[in-house]
Structure 1
């Protein structure tokens, strides 16, 4: 109990015994404490060094206990002073860390944005942001599926954030519903209070933290090149609006993607729009995150339903029937 004041358990036991029986010598203290003679003598030396025992004026060669109100209070005051000194060093170190971080950010910052060069820099910054997120983390994920290594790295931080009450909402592509790893991550996220929806195509890779910081790719075609950390309130507000628009169009994971009144799923409508806009099957497959074979099978089915002999005619008929 008194270890905070520098007393070992043996010294505390001997001190308590001497307070109860100030006239007891070493032999009696052995019986009082159940310690060995060596342990008692070591404890007496320790107590004398801490000024909890002083030479007795009544019994020559013996030590008397100093009252707790004097001896222990002095040790407590010393411990408090040491703790205050340690806290001051901690605060000084905290200030130095903040200064180093500010200098590091300043070296990369320009016009309300910070350039994060390379994948490692992006991951380090995302870890920092995730630890200080206060209430919300939003993300658009147009890229590949959630691989186990990436999921394992993100799970502890996401779990900590969710435990703090942070709202996590993520949007992925509909094609992710066919990926076991992504479905496993989605189930874990939902079970822990997060939310995930899917849409046929996601406009851009993006993460928004507390509606004040946004992370965007430097080059959407090359995610490993790095990212741009944006702080501009106007830009972040526009990106939040984009997220909310995409979120509203999405279907919650765990539910069937709804078909419209014409029997078209969101992915089928999106595919028709792409083909009508001039995209090739290859381009549509890439944007939808599905195979070329799947695109062609879907398109053949749509052409049959639209009674179209060509992709061009399918686009015309879809427009006439109000499918687009």
Structure 2
């Protein structure tokens, strides 16, 4: 208790000794207390500062504490009142700023949707929505949504939701395993109660809060175009259905990969499907979130395993083996290119167009 006055146990003993031995001297304290002279002098100095002792003809005289400490108590009471008044004013200012912020947000919204132009505006909105989320926050996070700055901004939001018991469910590209920073965040989330999985491709980045509000890009091909917040029930039903459909084929993070016979992995199957759509190597890389050399190495490996000399032939053999489902719509089935009479299509052209050229 006396420590709040800056008095240690020895100083207290000196004061009590002076009460029992009025007019004592330092020599008396040395004889009566088990302490060095330096420690005694330090304790006496503190008691003199507080006016609990005073010198009188070389002796130490104790004084009455209430009188000696009244000035100190009045000073501290004045400081407490000042701080309390300051707190009241700060709270009022924060409340006013919060009201102005909410009013501004309300003025900027449209019926069911609102466009967010800048990364700062997107993050501010995510912060606001995450702070209000009560049940779940589900996200699709392709490679361009997992930059270092984005992860640094997202982690405290995820942490706050997890601390409140909110289910945080993120789906990443399988290529997350090649991204040290992104993988570290995904594993941190899984270890702290979040749900994390991977998929070969993701159509866009998407965050849905409590199944009532979603954020998605204005243009999935151009992150700089900004984002849109949607709240209409019609929008949300479709977006949630998209998320749940992707989760059906999701692989839990760090799940052991098991290849059944000669069947391709989910990533290899998706690569074949993208090739079947006629995408260029560069477009395939962007969809899968892998480097160009990695994509070409995977393509070469698939061609070798299928015993194919071209992508066209690889598509046909993938369907024959059951790696891809036949589909006349040109989705997963590689449709054979129609050749002009007397003029076969050069191999280089069929390879450039991919294995999914429509008739």
Length-normalised TM-score, structure 1: 0.70
Q: CA deviation at 1:221?
A: 2.1
Verify: 1:138 aligned to 2:127, yes or no: no
Instruction: Show the 5 A alignment for 1:17-166.
Output: 35=52, 37=63, 40-41=66-67, 94=95, 96=96, 99-144=99-144, 146-166=146-166
Check 1:97–1:261 CA distance in 2 against 1; reply closer, same or farther (3 A cut).
Answer: farther
Q: CA deviation at 1:243?
A: 0.9
After TM superposition, the structure 1 stretch with the greater mean CA deviation from structure 2, 149-158 or 231-240, is 149-158
Q: Which residue of 2 aligns with 1:264?
A: 264
* Partner SS, residue 110 of structure 1: coil
* Partner SS, residue 228 of structure 1: strand
Q: What is the rounded CA distance, in whole Å, between the counterparts of 2:149 and 2:70 in structure 1?
A: 58
Q: What is the rounded CA distance, in whole Å, between the counterparts of 2:259 and 2:252 in structure 1?
A: 14
Q: What is the rounded CA distance, in whole Å, between the counterparts of 2:114 and 2:208 in structure 1?
A: 14
Q: What is the rounded CA distance, in whole Å, between the counterparts of 1:42 and 1:116 in structure 2?
A: 64
Q: Which residue of 1 aligns with 2:274?
A: 274
Tell me, yes or no, if the aligned pair for 2:139 and 2:208 is still in contact at 8 Å: yes
Check 1:163–1:218 CA distance in 2 against 1; reply closer, same or farther (3 A cut).
Answer: same
Aligned length: 263
Tell me, yes or no, if the aligned pair for 2:199 and 2:246 is still in contact at 8 Å: yes
Q: CA deviation at 1:103?
A: 2.6
Tell me, yes or no, if the aligned pair for 2:130 and 2:157 is still in contact at 8 Å: yes
Q: Which residue of 2 aligns with 1:312?
A: 312
Q: Which residue of 2 aligns with 1:196?
A: 196
Check 1:177–1:145 CA distance in 2 against 1; reply closer, same or farther (3 A cut).
Answer: farther
Q: Which residue of 1 aligns with 2:184?
A: 184
Check 1:101–1:44 CA distance in 2 against 1; reply closer, same or farther (3 A cut).
Answer: closer
Q: CA deviation at 1:207?
A: 0.5
Q: CA deviation at 1:186?
A: 1.6
Q: CA deviation at 1:98?
A: 5.8
Q: CA deviation at 1:315?
A: 0.8
Q: CA deviation at 1:203?
A: 1.0
Residues 267-324 of structure 1: CA deviation (Å, up to 9, x unaligned): 1101111111211222212211112222222112212222222111111121122111
Q: What is the rounded CA distance, in whole Å, between the counterparts of 1:104 and 1:47 in structure 2?
A: 47
Q: CA deviation at 1:227?
A: 1.0
Q: Which residue of 1 aligns with 2:236?
A: 236
Q: What is the rounded CA distance, in whole Å, between the counterparts of 1:287 and 1:195 in structure 2?
A: 23
Q: CA deviation at 1:152?
A: 3.1
Residues 146-190 of structure 1: CA deviation (Å, up to 9, x unaligned): 444433332222212111101111011111112211221122111
Check 1:90–1:287 CA distance in 2 against 1; reply closer, same or farther (3 A cut).
Answer: same
Q: Which residue of 2 aligns with 1:295?
A: 295
Q: What is the rounded CA distance, in whole Å, between the counterparts of 2:266 and 2:206 in structure 1?
A: 22
Verify: 1:283 aligned to 2:283, yes or no: yes
* Partner SS, residue 168 of structure 2: strand
Q: What is the rounded CA distance, in whole Å, between the counterparts of 2:227 and 2:196 in structure 1?
A: 23
Q: What is the rounded CA distance, in whole Å, between the counterparts of 2:230 and 2:260 in structure 1?
A: 37
Q: What is the rounded CA distance, in whole Å, between the counterparts of 1:154 and 1:90 in structure 2?
A: 27
Tell me, yes or no, if the aligned pair for 1:108 and 1:116 is still in contact at 8 Å: no
Q: What is the rounded CA distance, in whole Å, between the counterparts of 1:279 and 1:131 in structure 2?
A: 40
After TM superposition, the structure 1 stretch with the greater mean CA deviation from structure 2, 214-223 or 259-268, is 259-268
Q: Which residue of 2 aligns with 1:69?
A: none
Q: What is the rounded CA distance, in whole Å, between the counterparts of 1:224 and 1:42 in structure 2?
A: 69
Q: CA deviation at 1:92?
A: 10
Q: What is the rounded CA distance, in whole Å, between the counterparts of 1:117 and 1:277 in structure 2?
A: 32
After TM superposition, the structure 1 stretch with the greater mean CA deviation from structure 2, 174-183 or 199-208, is 174-183
Residues 4-47 of structure 1: CA deviation (Å, up to 9, x unaligned): xxxxx99xxxxxxxxxxxxxxxxxxxxxxx95658623766899
Q: What is the rounded CA distance, in whole Å, between the counterparts of 1:176 and 1:303 in structure 2?
A: 25
